[in-house]
Amino acid sequence: MTDNERYIFNKVAAALCKEYDVIYITDTEITDTPSKFPAVSVIMTNNTITSRYVTFEKTENVVNEEYKIEIFSNLSDGYGKDEIKDILETVNAVMTDENALRTFSEPIFNADPSVSRRIARYRITQTKQEE
């Protein structure tokens, strides 16, 4: 199976670590209030074969992948929203470099009102990455 999740995660994480001295980045769902802030979750949510590019040997050469990027900030007085947008700008630059299309970006209600949260979704047609 062609799966580029680790590759995309590493690219996003490297860019964010370069921009932020302190940032929590995970490749798993954040189901509760993060233990560190700002926090970013990068997860592939879908991976489907592009049947047009399957070889006679049934090799997957091209897949459509969808990614969910979830960003959390605990800065107060509206600064959390600004921090999230700055982080999203960095993520967006990486994803655009990978020819991804942003299909969704919206602030999300968070149970803890002191935490700002936003989800962005990207779709990308990927070729198999060399090992």
Helices (H), 20-128: 79-97
pLDDT above 50 for 4? yes
d(CA 89, CA 6) in angstroms, rounded, equals 20
pLDDT band of residue 49 (cuts 50, 70, 90) is confident
Q: What is the pTM of this model?
A: 0.88
In this structure, how many other beta carbons lie within 10 angstroms of the beta carbon of residue 9?
18
Residue 65 token pair: 């992948």
Confidence at residue 46, expressed as pLDDT on a 0 to 100 scale: 95
Beta strands across the sheet bearing 62-73? 24-26, 39-49, 62-73, 116-127, 101-107
Average pLDDT score over residue span 24-44? 95
